[in-house]
A and B are shown apart, each in its own frame.
Chain A
Amino acid sequence: MARLIVLGGGVAGHTAATFAADWLGREHEVVVVTPNSKWNWIPSNIWVGVGEMSKEEVTFDLAPVYEKAGITYKQAKAVSINPEGSASNDKPFVTFEYTGQGKAGQSEEMTYDYLINATGPKLNFGATPGLGDANGLGEFTVSVCTADHAEHAAHELEKIMDKMRKGERQKILIGTGHGMCTCQGAAFEYIFNVEHEIRKAGLRDMADIQWISNEAFMGDFGMGGLHMKVGGYVVSSRIFTESLFAERGVNYITGAHVNKVEKGKVSYELLDGSTGEESFDFSMLIPPFAGVGLKAYNKAGEDITDTVFAPNGFMKVDADYTPKPYAEWKASDWPRTYQNPTFKNLFAAGIAFAPPHIISKPMKSPNGTVINPTPPRTGMPSGIMGKAVAHSVCDLIKKGPDAHLHEASMAEMGAACVASAGKGWLDGQAAAMTVYPVVPDYEKYPGTGRDTDYTFGEIGLAGHWIKHILHYLFIYKAKLKPFWKVIPE
């Protein structure tokens, strides 16, 4: 009997574990180690953050789902990996510390035959003074990164809306809280949902709404922007995005590295080297992401973290990490199998893998401050990666070490993205977009780096319907209800 341990129970980890358990059957063991007791459909957190959904509607308990699937569930935080085993045992093992199940704080070691690292990101609030610290979110801003954060954001939003009702004009600042953030899409969705709620409440004239982002231009989204077919034109996402901001009267600052957050004020540096300050009464700033800080040790107990992980804490996989200038970046730099090059029974999926480089053009201010978005690897790509990696591990277990590994390169897969711009079955709107491929391939598509036959976007009520239906569909799938496997990632 072989044992597969999956670290993390988010989109990539949950997908990998549930498919692996299904494909392997009861002959082999699948273990999930995740510090959370609940699964969270993160894309709907933005609706929790404006009070349009409850925390309970976007989460569910993992334990009964894993019990049904025959998965061993450890509510614990992975601490370290010993891929060579230890002096007394040749079998590789992982060390984790319980966060629940009545064993909080206790450590345990568990051996494995295969390990999938899908730990997702550490929300690195501590990277920006005032945004937070090692313990998480600070006191001056709100977040929608977790369901609890989003619930708190909704309460704070309600408070400023009450002030508006009393005639006090309020300033709202939403965007990214550091020069190297990713996930601009979540902030984009949140700002337009906030604007929608305020307009619906008849308070739009009482709010100044401001966007601040580390993107060099509007619509970069960490993918270097994209070109899509709209109304017979091939249009840059910059035009599309600026249009929505102008239509809704939302001012914007781009190329900004937020370097300090204080009560009611952020300080920032721009790509041209200038600095500025922006005041706020309510602010939601996305933190930068980092690896979760897993350590790795060899058989002798020596630290080999830098062999297994990149300096940012994400796991090294089969990408080309050779440093090279932007002009030499290629689609083939991106990983295909997500297998660790040193330890072949280690895989990573989702945010946990180390990208070879960013996708957007690298940018620095004259002061040397790096200000560019890091690559998005959430949602659909995460799910596809998780499934491909699970497939590879299952084949390795069933067919032996020479089994063909399954591939899911971000330079060959597309992504469907629906960005909400306001909730409501009759008056909601969302930008429905597809991008193909996620990482541009200028050798295959010399014009825009992507296939414009499959890269498109439009905004409207239909997009909202799709996003709302996907909310129910993906929670249904994650709960492993009947026919869950036919729902694509």
Chain B
Amino acid sequence: MAVKPEEFNFAKNDQFNTAMIPGKFARAMRTCKIWQFIRFVIINIKMIIVVSKSH
């Protein structure tokens, strides 16, 4: 059975083998425009809160 693309790097070395590597769905969501627009709004709100607490 062929290795799934997201699992390919695990076998490269010991450092990678013990790391957490995102699967196909998590990677797709990182560039999904609709989901990322929602995250854009949420991250901005979180950042504005931190910025306002820092001034």
Give the interface of A toward B (CB within 8 A): 239, 242-243, 245-247, 249, 251-252, 380, 384, 387, 412-416, 426-427, 429, 432, 434, 436, 454, 456, 458-463, 465-466, 488-489
Q: Does B55 contact A (CB under 8 A)?
A: yes
Asked if A436 contacts B9 (CB within 8 A), the reply is no
B residues 6-55 touching A (CB-CB < 8 Å): 6, 9-10, 12-13, 15-16, 18-22, 27, 29-33, 36-37, 39-40, 43-44, 46-47, 49-55
Given contacts A413-B54, A434-B46, A461-B31, 14 further A-B contacts (CB under 8 A): A242-B18, A242-B19, A246-B19, A247-B9, A247-B19, A247-B22, A251-B13, A414-B50, A414-B53, A429-B31, A454-B49, A460-B30, A460-B31, A466-B47
CA A80 to CA B33, docked complex, whole Å: 53
The smallest beta-carbon distance between B29 and chain A, in angstroms, is 7
Number of B residues, CB within 8 Å of A:
33
Closest residue of chain A to B12, judged by CB?
Answer: A249
Chain B residue numbers with a CB within 8 Å of A245 are 15-16, 19
23 contacts between A and B (CB under 8 A): A243-B20, A243-B21, A245-B15, A246-B9, A246-B19, A246-B20, A247-B9, A247-B19, A247-B22, A247-B27, A249-B9, A251-B15, A384-B54, A384-B55, A426-B31, A429-B30, A429-B31, A432-B47, A454-B46, A460-B36, A460-B39, A488-B51, A489-B55
Asked if B53 contacts A462 (CB within 8 A), the reply is no
Closest residue of chain A to B18, judged by CB?
Answer: A242
Asked if B54 contacts A246 (CB within 8 A), the reply is no
CA A489 to CA B51, docked complex, whole Å: 8
CB contact between B29 and one of A249, A252, A460 (< 8 Å): that residue: A460
CB contact between A458 and one of B39, B50, B55 (< 8 Å): that residue: B39
CA A254 to CA B20, docked complex, whole Å: 18
Asked if B15 contacts A434 (CB within 8 A), the reply is no
Say whether, besides A251-B13, A384-B55, A460-B31, A434 and B50 are in contact (CB < 8 Å). yes
Asked if B36 contacts A239 (CB within 8 A), the reply is no
CB contact between A416 and one of B22, B31, B50 (< 8 Å): that residue: B50
Chain A residue numbers with a CB within 8 Å of B53 are 413-414, 436, 454
Closest residue of chain B to A437, judged by CB?
Answer: B54
Asked if B20 contacts A461 (CB within 8 A), the reply is no
CA A427 to CA B15, docked complex, whole Å: 27
Q: 8 shortest A-B CB distances, which residue pairs?
A: A246-B19, A462-B40, A413-B54, A246-B16, A414-B50, A462-B39, A461-B36, A460-B30
CA A460 to CA B13, docked complex, whole Å: 25
Chain B residue numbers with a CB within 8 Å of A246 are 9-10, 15-16, 19-21
CA A243 to CA B50, docked complex, whole Å: 25
Chain A residue numbers with a CB within 8 Å of B10 are 246
The smallest beta-carbon distance between A424 and chain B, in angstroms, is 9
CA A245 to CA B10, docked complex, whole Å: 11
Asked if A434 contacts B47 (CB within 8 A), the reply is yes
Closest residue of chain B to A455, judged by CB?
Answer: B50
CA A399 to CA B7, docked complex, whole Å: 65
CA A287 to CA B27, docked complex, whole Å: 34
Chain B residue numbers with a CB within 8 Å of A463 are 43
Chain A residue numbers with a CB within 8 Å of B36 are 460-462, 465
CA A246 to CA B15, docked complex, whole Å: 8
Asked if B12 contacts A414 (CB within 8 A), the reply is no
The smallest beta-carbon distance between A253 and chain B, in angstroms, is 10
Chain B residue numbers with a CB within 8 Å of A416 are 47, 50-51
Chain A residue numbers with a CB within 8 Å of B16 are 245-246, 249
Asked if A247 contacts B54 (CB within 8 A), the reply is no
Chain B residue numbers with a CB within 8 Å of A488 are 51-52, 55
The smallest beta-carbon distance between B12 and chain A, in angstroms, is 7
The smallest beta-carbon distance between A22 and chain B, in angstroms, is 16
CA A489 to CA B18, docked complex, whole Å: 39
CA A251 to CA B19, docked complex, whole Å: 12
CA A151 to CA B39, docked complex, whole Å: 33
CB contact between B15 and one of A252, A412, A414, A462 (< 8 Å): that residue: A252
The smallest beta-carbon distance between A99 and chain B, in angstroms, is 34
CA A243 to CA B47, docked complex, whole Å: 23
Chain A residue numbers with a CB within 8 Å of B55 are 384, 387, 488-489
Chain A residue numbers with a CB within 8 Å of B12 are 249
CA A466 to CA B51, docked complex, whole Å: 14
Chain B residue numbers with a CB within 8 Å of A243 are 19-22
Chain A residue numbers with a CB within 8 Å of B30 are 429, 459-461
CA A252 to CA B12, docked complex, whole Å: 13
Chain A residue numbers with a CB within 8 Å of B19 are 239, 242-243, 245-247
The smallest beta-carbon distance between B26 and chain A, in angstroms, is 10
The smallest beta-carbon distance between A170 and chain B, in angstroms, is 18
Asked if A380 contacts B51 (CB within 8 A), the reply is yes
CA A85 to CA B36, docked complex, whole Å: 58
CA A413 to CA B40, docked complex, whole Å: 23
Chain A residue numbers with a CB within 8 Å of B50 are 414-416, 434, 436, 454
The smallest beta-carbon distance between A298 and chain B, in angstroms, is 37
Chain B residue numbers with a CB within 8 Å of A458 are 39, 43
